[in-house]
Structure 1
Amino acid sequence: MSLHSFDKEAGEKVPGLFLPSDAHEHLLKHIESVGLGRPDVFPEVQDDKITLKGKAGSQEEKEKLILASGNINGVATVDDQITVTGPAAQAARFVTVKADDNLPAIAESAYGDANKFRKVFEANRPMLGQPDKIYPGQVLRLTDSRSGAGPGHTGPAPKRRLAKSRPDQAVKLTWQTVKVTCQRAARNPRVIVKSCGSVGGARARCPRAVVVPSMVR
């Protein structure tokens, strides 16, 4: 049972949420629309505060219900009064997305490895439909472990490929189309470039780039 703060200027607008009648039904429909079904909760809406009462089958479900309710335009606080009926589990951390953030940058800050962006993505599904669909002011959950996968993780994140080249070393050119996620290029974080097999040309644009090969030609 706790209070969670949100940026009331951020998030999706939910029509009818702040009307005196049927506000709880509008919120339940929104929760269902983001992929969380019809949970056994009874929301109350008062001004910019939402109170969630009821039951959740797991700590993960409860946290996702809190995020789905708080990441709404006009909501400043969510009062969590949900009881978890399943096994006890460690609570996730909540973080707020900054203006220059992307998932690799958040993973780098949280886990020390930008390539664990999939861990962040999986921990926030189904609310996140795609890894690049985040916005400033949005609150995300982070599973605490610095190793292993988050809930629903189905495979390892792509490994960071470092450029290794020597002036006197002959390089066989294998042209690839690679996707570069630059943690410092906030205005254009995803750049499609061509590079040889060493991906040196791609990383030259940003030494901290996360290089994900997408197609070999």
Structure 2
Amino acid sequence: MGLFAFIKEAGEKLFGTGEANAAAADPAAANARAAQAIHNYIVALKLAPADLGVSFDAAKSLVVVSGTAPDQATREKILLAAGNVAGVAEVENRLSVARAEPEAQFHTVARGDTLSAIAKKYYGNANQYPAIFEANKPMLSHPDKIYPGQVLRIPPQA
């Protein structure tokens, strides 16, 4: 359980430009559409457990995710997928884990960061960047495609 903070202006653009006007007219419907878009994104990444629940509150910029993840890594990837969406400032974690494992750390990418620099910071060795890249697949498609404000999963060292 817990609340995870994200940078609201950074992330995947899942909501259209007309969403703000629609939200003013019918906030409940706009929240439902946004929740469905986030749910569909998690499904497209092949991370969604069968019982995945997603809700969104635009007034609070809050996503709530629930369900049972098969393992800790999938749970964390679901949280990151939901949070690394433009318009989302916080993700409330109501996911349980079928198989308990050590938790990873999270790192918010700053301007000028590279996976190598992040690996050096957390592991003491820049050549460990592939571990961070692998831990963030399928959200990352290439080690060089990170952006300021993005939150990454930093797995415990093996």
Fold-level similarity (TM above 0.5) = yes
Tell me by how many angstroms 1:54 deviates.
Answer: 1.3
User: How large is the Cα RMSD of the aligned pairs?
Assistant: 1.7
Q: Rg bigger for which structure?
A: 1
Which amino acid in 1 is paired with 2:136?
Answer: N
Describe the shift of the 1:112–1:3 C-alpha distance in structure 2 as closer, same or farther (beyond 3 A). same
Describe the shift of the 1:104–1:15 C-alpha distance in structure 2 as closer, same or farther (beyond 3 A). same
In 1: Cα distance, 2:89 partner to 2:109 partner: 15
Q: Which residue of 2 aligns with 1:57?
A: 70
TM-score, with normalisation over the residues of structure 2? 0.85
Percent identity, aligned pairs only? 41
Q: Deviations over 1:58-106 (max 9, x none)?
A: 11110000000000001000000101112x1000000100101011010
Contact 1:35 1:127 (C-alpha < 8 Å) held by counterparts: no
Tell me by how many angstroms 1:37 deviates.
Answer: 4.8
Tell me by how many angstroms 1:38 deviates.
Answer: 5.8
Q: Which residue of 1 aligns with 2:92?
A: 79
Which amino acid in 1 is paired with 2:39?
Answer: L
Name the structure, 1 or 2, with higher relative contact order (CA <8 Å, separation 6+).
2
Q: Deviations over 1:125-184 (max 9, x none)?
A: 111111101000000011122xx4xxxxxxxxxxxxxxxxxxxxxxxxxxxxxxxxxxxx
Which amino acid in 1 is paired with 2:74?
Answer: E
TM-score, with normalisation over the residues of structure 1? 0.63
Instruction: Name structure 1 gaps, 5 residues minimum.
Output: 149-217
For residues 53-202 of structure 1, the aligned pairs below 5 Å read 53-86=66-99, 88-145=100-157, 148=158
SS at match of 1:140: strand
Q: Which residue of 2 aligns with 1:34?
A: 45
Q: Which residue of 1 aligns with 2:15?
A: 15
Q: Which residue of 2 aligns with 1:2?
A: 2
Tell me by how many angstroms 1:39 deviates.
Answer: 4.7
